[in-house]
Amino acid sequence: MYEQEKEKYETEKSSNQNKLEKFSQDLKEIKTQNEVIQKKEDMNKLLGDLTKKNDEFLQNLQAQLNLHFQKFEVNQPLQNLHPTIKFVKSIEGFESPWGVAYGNDGALYISDTDAQKISIFQNETKSNFVKFDSKPFPRDLSINPNGDVFVVLSSLGLIQRCDKNGTLGPKIGAKGRRQNELNRPRSVAVGGDYLYVTDTESNRIQVFGQNGQHIKSFGQSGLGPSEFQFPLCISQQNDLLAVTDCDNHRVQIFDRKTYELKFCFGENGNSSGQFNKPIGIAFDQRGNIVVGDSENNRIQIFSPQGNFLAEFGQSGSNDGDFNGPRGLDVSQNGQIAIADFGNKRVQIFQITY
């Protein structure tokens, strides 16, 4: 009896080992997103069956395969599937919130366009950061590692620099259509020593040094690659720039060093992966691309290659609903802040994988 049970155990152990080794080989052959999803489902079923047997040998194999799969997710281009989104809170009391940006300390800076001011939300408290005397209609904003805040003053064609205490510093740019001028810009992104600005009504991107020197302009009006119709928001991560090409209903991704187009995604519509005037954009902690699909009143998340991953939100005024979402940003711990323009609030969500 003992010999029969031992033989059965050894046969089963060998069979399970072969299954796990086959998984290891199959992972190297995966080429599509659907294959990744199916393989994860198959793997979880097998590992669940093995765990029930409570065998140390099989549990060790399970751990090895989990480790292999983690390496696969890091190394393969198809990754970061099925993010989970959870509503966290709503920050009320704005006239027309437009831009949001997280500082390195976790503080959230919010531009309130018609109120002509920047607010800061920290430790569950909202306070004034900067109040403008004129009517520059502040839009998007971005923060460098030193805590300096760069705010787009759209009607003036300027980028206003503020230090971390809210003291106004030098302005960058000038109103106009010439090479180093800005025609109603909407968004700015800090990357390294540079500022990347959507020169919205001139249908181009302008690059400045943080001290104000003009570096480069690229793009022109049109429907083709590297052309724009009302570029609204811009974000950067590593060597990439992501731009919402609003009236072309798409996102364009550029090399941050060469300014060459790498790829674009999206088209007009309301299905998953389509857009109706995208505005806000940011990279999350895994390199996924979060896009505010403004007139569809939802947020969509895409892989670093532009593959659709998830969406959330709908038209309305309840928690998790939107009314014309504008700028957005993602914190280092995965919180998404979204300027819910028409509902006069900022909503915070947590993204997890």
pLDDT digits (tens, 9 = 90+) for 128-142: 999 999 899 999 999
Q: Cβ distance 207 to 191 under 8 Å? A: no
Report the predicted TM-score, pTM, of the whole model to 2 decimal places: 0.79
Which pLDDT does position 134 carry in this prediction?
Answer: 87
Query: What is the rounded CA–CA span in Å between residue 242 and residue 236?
Result: 6
The residue whose two tokens read 């590992």 is 47
> What parts of the chain have a pLDDT lower than 70?
1-17, 19-81
pLDDT of residue 74: 41
pLDDT at 98: 98
Q: How many residues does the chain have?
A: 353
Q: What is the pLDDT of residue 142?
A: 98
pLDDT at 58: 53
pLDDT of 49 reads 55
What is the predicted pLDDT for the residue at 36?
A: 56
Q: Tell me the C-alpha to C-alpha distance, in Å, between residue 121 and each of 109, 129, 150, 290, 336.
A: 6, 9, 17, 21, 14
pLDDT, residue 251, reads 98
Question: What pLDDT does residue 353 have?
Answer: 87
Structure tokens at 323: 């009314």
What pLDDT is stored for residue 204 in this prediction?
A: 98
The reported pLDDT for the residue numbered 81 is 64
